[in-house]
Structure 1
Amino acid sequence: MSRRSASRRLPVSLRFAAIACAAALSTPAIFAAQTDGPPPARRVDVVDHVFGNSLSDPYRWMEGEKNAEFQKWLVAQGDYTRAKLDALPTLKAWQETLGKTSGNEVVYRAQRYAGGRLFFIRQEGQGTGTLMVREADGKERVLLDPATLAEGGHASITLFALSPDGSKVAVNTDRGGAEVTRLEVFDVQTGKSTGDAVEPVWGEFGADWLPDSSGFAYTQMAPEDQRTDGDPIQDMRLRFHRLGTPVAQDPTLLRAGTGEGVNASFAIPSNRFPQIDFPAGSRWAIAAATGAQPETRYCVAPQAEAIKPGVSWRCIAELDDKVEEAAIHGDMLYLVSARKHSNGEVLAIDLSKPDASLAQARSILPLEDDEIIVGLSLFDTQKVATARDALYVKVTRNGIDSVRRIDYRSGKIDSVSMPLTGAASLFHADNDEDGFLLALRGWTTPAKAWRYDSKDRSMHTLGQDQTSPADYSMIQISETEVTSQDGTRVPLTVLHRKDAVLDGNHRAILWGYGSYGLSQVPVFNPIRLEWVKHGNIFAYAHVRGGGEKGEAWHQAGKGPNKHKGVEDFIASVEALSKLGYSRPERTGLISGSAGGLLIGGALANYPKAFGAAIVRVAMLNPVRLMQAPNGANQVGEMGDPRKAADFPFILAMDPYQNLKPKTAYPSVMLDVGLNDSRVAPWESGKFAAKLRASNTSGKPVWIRTNANGGHGIQVSLGAEATEFADIYAFLDAQLPTR
């Protein structure tokens, strides 16, 4: 069973002349001091004494949910920033350029086969994605347009799950931007709701159907009065719904935390999420306790019993076993583990044996030293995929994906011939279908999708290749490594024009992340490519904390090692200068979410090392992790601020606490979604307020708000274009070219 992740962002269409665009994009940087200021933030006298540390927190008043004073302040910040952005000289040119780019782009994703039909999401322009179905005769039709579900059209599909017989589809729809969804079943033939619907369901958790399509399990958020510390992400419960029966009668199969529904054989902490899978053709169900860390606990039980409360679960993998993914075919359980090998290995366990355990597991796929099968990627595709005919495994080498086929009976391993060189944005197989689905893309190569036919051992196009909205043949990708502060060699990917003169005069964006073992792999993103097409640099720093070099790379930038990723980020800025791509004062950093600890750490500790920072929906105050919604979920990755052993390194990684008074900071823009339920907006508010109070440079610290935005997941193509037009115009104004 693989963890599900939603995708990204994206729409806008504005009209201006191309000549005006070219002229505006060459406008020199603007460094005039601000003549007016953003709305001020009041200070409070709050000092915490924690494990011998005295922590001043003058903006504590911003914390808390439904904080009317903070919301009013934040909206005023957004209005101020909007007026400033609208006055920037290159904004309209970028709006026109990126608007045309997003308006001409069509993306296909989440392809699935069932019942002889192909289901997929088609996304273009202002839309967040429409659920489509292609019949066996090749005719396509709309199954569900989320814009018809909510007033104003502000709805998106975060997930869909097909019943094994292909007659029904369970769709998660987010109608408020906060990733809290309604899971509803639709009839595939008519497109109408069956009346089976449950809510609230976090947008990452879809329906897990029984093999006979008679019902499904789902992970439901707890009622508000049953959430630990009021956190909506805690105390979830796994329930089972039989089609056509009242939801109120749905039994609880597993429950996180304490209370009614807890199963003693599979106790789950309140900050983890119970999930289940019912593999077709198997007598086993596999359940998992997932969370915001790669390691997952897995347990099995007979399918017939697993849909009943109180079943006795046999737990195979604990967190210390470092198992990141599991799948079942028949009686065989396949695990991806990093316990013995940092780059991962595929293990097989025969569940038909009464004493089946991890101790009896055998490794079934030899790997070369530089091949990796662990870690997350941008699209969080499966690593092991159980098809009806064989086990398929996705193997990564230097960011490029390939697939191995392992025959169930003989164990024979074959390499599947790849149709092009790239990284997978789709890799999926089902126990009741032969072969697998695959989509590959590169930094400048649009995604192309295929279905692998096990009969002729070849790839067949799905006819859903993403087309490039513009010509990017002038862009070159250069791969290098930089030397970090401790001597570690860190990969750096640089996108630049082929005709770029390496004189250091280009504006550059450096992108990084560095958490959860998430790798920065090739992704075709025309919005970013337009920045390069217009003579700039876009680089990706593969810092420690990611998974580019396996689980050891993740651990090297996690917890007490979080500062290593920051050092890698700064070393990458220096490398762009040494290689002649840019200069530190001409380089802007971009990161967000958990990457807020990366970019925030750079701001707090190396304020003179770069020219500007774009901080997107970011985690910036981890010592207050337990006071934030979704905070307890992050403990496995960030550490627990309630523990004396963890607190020192959490304090060291806290950007808010490490800002220094009377310091010259670079230009900063913080991007905040007012409906963000993953990272509390008050983290950005507190950081911005303290940064302004500490800053002596006179350079701007702006907060850009999105009234309809959450954490930037499953938004439209145009929304991304709108956001990045603002970002590029801001960087044009703040980064000099001479």
Structure 2
Amino acid sequence: MHYKDIVMPYTFRSSRAYVSLCVVAAACTLMVGALPAIAAQTDEPAPARTVDQVDHLFGVTLHDPYRWMEGAHNAEFQQWLAAQGDYTRAKLDALPTLKFWQQDLQKINGTTVVHRSQRYVDGSLFFIREEAQGNGTLMVREANGAERVLLDPATLAGDGGHASITLFVPSPDGSKVAVDIDHGGNEVTRMEVLDVKSGKPTGDAVEPVWGEFGAEWLPDGSGFAYTQMAPPAQRTNGDPLQDMRLRFHRLGTPSASDPILLRAGKGEGVNPSFTMSSNRFPDVQFRTDSRWAIAEEQGAQIEQRYCVTMQTEAIKPGATWHCIADFDDEIVDADIHGNTLYLVSTRTRSNGELLALDLSRPDASLKDAHPILSLQDDEMIVDSNLDDTQMIAPARDALYVKVVRNGIDSIRRIDYRTDKVENVPMPFPGSAALFHADDNQDGFVLGLRSWTTPPKFWRYDPSTRSLRSLGQDEASPADYSMIEATETELVSKDGTHVPLTIVHRKDVALDGSHRAIVFGYGSYGMSIVPSFRPVRLEWVKNGNIFAYAHVRGGGEKGEAWHKAGKGPNKHKGVEDFVAAVARLSELGYSRPERTALISGSAGGLLLGGAVVGYPSRFGAAVFMVSLLNPVRLLQEPNGANQMGEMGDPSKAADFPWMLAMDPYQQIHPHTAYPAMMLDVGLNDSRVAPWETGKFAARLRAANTSGRPVWIRTDAHGGHGIQASLGAEAAEYADVFAFLDAQLPVTATHP
């Protein structure tokens, strides 16, 4: 499932890096709508075995009968999961509307060409071109307009066509590009340097690198810093995402001799002036127009820690770092130009405040920083999504800042010399699919989209104060002019008004007859922003509803909105999610029994909470690579990294509310649960598949409704990132066919 345009759940906030054809459509709609719902499932797989595992934690007795499923390389569980996948595949293949959705969505995605991750460097445009069956090809467009392939991962030997590019970073002069290549579908990459002129590898390569961390080039392009995963024997509790180290590679030298600049945890390479816990990640930024380097200690939470030193010192082991902001200072982003450090703070303003600090002052500290941008009360500069966008973007000519208001993005230009603020005229109201600037180039590149408008891309030229098209505007693969988005609100259990986006046909009959999907997420302060997804629009085009609940725990109303649905407040987001179902019914779009909830990753806590707490309030649920057992968080690979958002189950203060939001532990016996499908990627490095297995097995044993609980497996899938648009279409076809079968009566209009 491609999540990138909504949120990339359970991610790391790397500041550079940081998812049959009918003759006429009316006949298809009527055919889908006439199908009866499948009310019960009588041939589920044999129940999973149980073991009487009992824990006594902080005065609470916990039963965990499926603990045996946990652990890496668990042959018994892997065999059980494979059987589940085979069973579900057979059931899905027998669904009446599957072939319709497969052909419809493959046709839509088969004609789609996506351009993304555009970087403009020294007259050349670097970008990823993604087509139906490809894995994303790295391209370059020269100054004369000629385009050529730099790297097509499908051509790499020994990968069976499953290699993909997770990230690329051109050198400051555009002569080289460092590419993160995922060869196994698990986001663990090999970073290779390509010579742009020849398209051939230079021989410089480092590994293993987590796929969200790119190269940070020195201004002269002679080398780069990179965040490397620790060797297996040096990982705390065997967790591959602990004990990372920041290293420096000089081009043309053996990578084995790359010095360690910073290190998380303990051991060789720890810098006394900038120590960090093992579950954090070190990163660094170099800027061509500054003598300073800024290092970052980051993790899966919105606040980060920032320290500075001279660039000449930063590439030496044992450099002395001057730390400006700690986690308690609530700084969520930082960048640098000349001697000025720019910081985004949420400490005194929940919606974000832009500060400037003069590093040339002796002993400069955060208390010396001052605000430089006036904002209206409802304007935000907090990180609102995980697309390829920056919050603050230093270019050569000025600082550019992305400001969000009611889900619509605007760009402010701040002159370095005068601090004069100007609004950059936007071509149409939308959200940024791309916003990026480099400090050795004037202006920025921008991509905008809406719920029903494909992305369009420009480069801003400050000399003419105009946006020039990149010529990469994404064409809509079908006519969606009959669809619109309605922005409204729901009223949650405690009276809070929560934004709700409803995507529907303009001619929708408000008679409650339509099937509906409600998507929510509610973690890490990440917002659900307008996004153009043809596969979802096909669901709507065929007479259904797709709604987005902007629940607490996200960032739609600033950091206060995030905190209102975080930790002990997690149940508030669940209440918001369930209230969205009632709101759709109240407005006449659907009825609860015709409405499905969908979420995944950290959103599994949201969806799982709805399933176990309010099982009769909706008709079905679809889980995507979901976190479902947070009291076992520290047994997860990547679990320790999540404590900043999820809490620490080993602490008496955190355990009670972590238990309260644990869907697996909150399953009630002898309860009628809705129909469910749980999707799991077998190469997932962020949420272990055993979370899905345990939840599904326990829920089946408790379920009295007779409704299905299916586990869909993807042998090549990772954490919600499909290898191609074709794979995305196949997954959505399964989801839509499942919901056709489980939700009674859909739209009947042509």
Normalising by the smaller structure, the TM-score range is: over 0.9
Match of 2:36 among 10, 29, 49: 29
Residue 139 of structure 1, aligned match among 143, 146, 159: 146
3-state SS in 2 of match to 1:522:
coil
Is the CA contact (8 Å cut-off) linking 1:406 and 1:413 kept in structure 2? yes
Q: Which residue of 1 aligns with 2:57?
A: 50
How far apart in 2 are the matches of 1:153 and 1:396?
39
Amino acid at match of 1:461: S
Between 21-30 and 545-554, the greater mean CA deviation after superposition: 21-30
Give the partner amino acid of 2:554: G
Inter-partner Cα distance in structure 1 for 2:515 and 2:649: 39
Tell me, yes or no, if the aligned pair for 1:21 and 1:97 is still in contact at 8 Å.
Answer: no
In structure 1, the residue matched to 2:310 is 302
Deviation at 1:520, TM superposition (A): 0.4
Alignment deviations for residues 19-49 of structure 1 (CA, whole Å, 9 cap, x no partner): 7744542342332532322243110010111
Give the distance between the partners of 2:686 and 2:16, measured in 1 at CA.
15
Deviations 1:163-185 (A, max 9, x none): 10111000001111100001000
Indicate which of 121, 136, 160 corresponds to 2:168.
160
8 Å CA contact retained: 2:122, 2:441 = no
Aligned-partner Cα distance in 1 for 2:268–2:394: 35
Shift in CA distance, 231/712, structure 1 to aligned 2, threshold 3 Å: same
Q: CA–CA distance in 2 between the matches of 1:330 and 1:458? A: 26
Classify 1:302/1:411 alpha carbon distance in 2 versus 1 (closer, same or farther; 3 Å). same
1:18 offset after TM fit, Å? 5.8
In the alignment, what sits opposite 2:111? 104
Per the TM alignment, residue 143 of structure 1 is displaced from its structure 2 partner at its CA by: 0.6
> Is 2:702 the counterpart of 1:706?
no
- Residue of structure 1 in register with 2:463 after alignment: 455
Residues 1:256 and 2:264 aligned together: yes
* Distance in 2 (alpha carbons) for counterparts of 1:35 and 1:544: 38
Per the alignment, do residues 171 and 15 of structure 1 end up closer, same or farther by CA in structure 2, a change over 3 Å counting?
farther
Q: Describe the shift of the 1:239–1:422 C-alpha distance in structure 2 as closer, same or farther (beyond 3 A).
A: same
Whether the 8 Å CA contact 2:636–2:688 is kept in 1: the answer is yes
* Pairing partner for 2:505 from 494, 497, 503: 497
Mapped partners of 2:676, 2:48: distance in 1: 17
Q: What is the letter of the counterpart of residue 649 of structure 1?
A: W
1:320-376 residue CA offsets vs partner (Å, 9 max, x unmatched): 111111110111100011011000010000111112111000100000011010033
Matches of 2:16 and 2:538, distance apart in 1: 30
Q: 1:380: how far off?
A: 5.3
Provide the C-alpha distance between the structure 2 equivalents of 1:608 and 1:176, rounded to a whole number of angstroms.
40
Q: Provide, for residues 399-420 of structure 1, a one-character-per-residue CA deviation record: whole Å limited to 9, x for no partner.
A: 0000000000001000000011
Corresponding residue number in structure 2 for 1:67: 74
Q: 1:466 to 1:283 in 2, by over 3 A?
A: same
| Preserved CA contact (<8 Å) 2:242 2:280 | yes
Q: What amino acid is aligned across from residue 3 of structure 1 in structure 2?
A: S
The alignment status of 1:663 with 2:666, answered yes or no, reads no
Match of 1:411 in 2: 419
What is the letter of the counterpart of residue 390 of structure 1? A
Out of 181, 184, 197, the position equivalent to 2:192 is 184
1:553 CA displacement = 0.2
Uncovered stretches (5+) of structure 2, i.e. residues with no partner: 1-12
Do 2:17 and 2:214's aligned partners in 1 also have CA atoms closer than 8 Å?
Answer: no
In structure 1, list runs of 5 or more residues that go unmatched.
9-13
> What is the distance in 2 between the residues matched to 1:590 and 1:5?
26
**Which residue matches 2:3?**
none
Query: What SS does the aligned partner of 1:66 have?
Result: coil
Determine the structure 2 residue equivalent to 1:361.
Answer: 369
Task: State the Cα distance separating 1:712 from its structure 2 match.
Answer: 1.9
Q: Secondary structure at the match of 2:143?
A: coil
**SS of the residue aligned with 1:440?**
strand
- TM-score after normalising by structure 1: 0.98
- Aligned mates of 2:628, 2:203 — CA distance in 1: 42
Q: Counterparts in 2 of 1:454-473, with a 5 A limit?
A: 454-473=462-481
Contact 2:14-2:213 within 8 A present in 1 as well: no
Q: 1:428 aligns with which of 418, 424, 436?
A: 436
SS of match in other structure, 1:438: strand
Matches of 1:682 and 1:29 in 2, distance apart?
Answer: 33
Deviation string for 1:515-572 (max 9, x for gaps)? 0001001000000000000000000000000000000000000000000000000111
Aligned equivalent of 1:3: 15
C-alpha contact 1:659 1:690 (8 A) present in aligned 2: yes
* Equivalent position of 1:718 in the other structure: 726
* Residue aligning to 1:123: 130
**Given that residues 27 and 90 in structure 1 are in contact (C-alpha distance below 8 angstroms), is that contact kept between their aligned partners in structure 2?**
no
Deviations 1:241-294 (A, max 9, x none): 000000111000000000010011101110010001111111001100111001
**Matched-pair contact (CA < 8 Å) for 1:612–1:731:** yes
Contact 2:286 2:311 (C-alpha < 8 Å) held by counterparts:
yes
How many angstroms apart in 2 are the aligned matches of 1:327 and 1:494? Answer: 37
2: CA distance, partners of 1:480 / 1:543: 13
Contact 2:14 2:212 in 1 (8 A): no
Alpha-carbon shift at residue 2 of structure 1 (Å): 5.8
2:320 is aligned to 312
Q: Which AA in structure 2 matches 1:444?
A: T
Q: Is the 8 A contact 1:21 1:96 kept in 2?
A: no
Distance 2:210 2:706 in 1: 42
Shift of 1:128: 1.9
Stretch deviating more after TM superposition (124-133 or 82-91):
124-133
Once residues 433 and 218 of structure 2 are traced to their aligned partners in structure 1, the CA distance between those partners, rounded to angstroms, is 27
CA distance in 2, matches of 1:174, 1:534: 36
| Structure 1 position 714, deviation (Å) | 5.7
For 2:593 and 2:166, the matched residues in 1 are separated by 39
Query: Corresponding residue for 1:678?
Result: 686
Q: Distance in 2 between matches of 1:449 and 1:185?
A: 27
Determine whether 1:340 maps to 2:340: no
3-state SS of 1:266 partner: coil
Moved more, 508-517 or 27-36: 27-36
Q: Distance in 2 between matches of 1:480 and 1:642?
A: 41
The answer for the alignment partner of 2:91 in structure 1 is: 84
Residue pairs, 1:388-403, within 5 angstroms: 388-403=396-411
- Secondary structure, aligned partner of 1:305: helix
Q: CA deviation at 1:638?
A: 0.6
Q: Report the counterpart of residue 11 of structure 1 in structure 2.
A: none
Q: Which residue of 1 aligns with 2:7?
A: none
* 3-state SS in 1 of match to 2:399: strand
3-state DSSP of counterpart to 1:377: coil
Partner Cα separation in structure 1 for residue 24 and residue 125 of structure 2 = 40
Match of 2:250 among 242, 256, 273: 242
Distance in 2 (CA, whole Å) between partners of 1:184 and 1:378 is: 24
Is the Cα contact below 8 Å between 1:158 and 1:714 reproduced in 2? no
In structure 2, the residue matched to 1:113 is 120
**2:602 partner SS:** helix
Identical pairs, percent: 71
- Number of matched residues? 732
1:558/1:60 Cα in 2 relative to 1: closer, same or farther (>3 Å)?
same
* 2:45 aligned to which of 24, 38, 41: 38
* Alpha-carbon distance in structure 1 between the residues aligned to 2:388 and 2:641: 18
| Counterparts of 2:91 and 2:235, CA distance in 1 | 41
Partner Cα distance (1:169, 1:85) in 2: 43
Q: How far apart in 1 are the matches of 2:300 and 2:16?
A: 12
In 1, are the aligned partners of 2:297 and 2:305 still within 8 Å (CA)? yes
| Contact persistence 1:424–1:438 (CA under 8 A) | yes
- Which of 202, 205, 224 lines up with 1:216 in the alignment? 224
Q: From the superposition, tell whether residues 22 and 583 of structure 1 become closer, same or farther in structure 2 (CA, over 3 Å).
A: closer
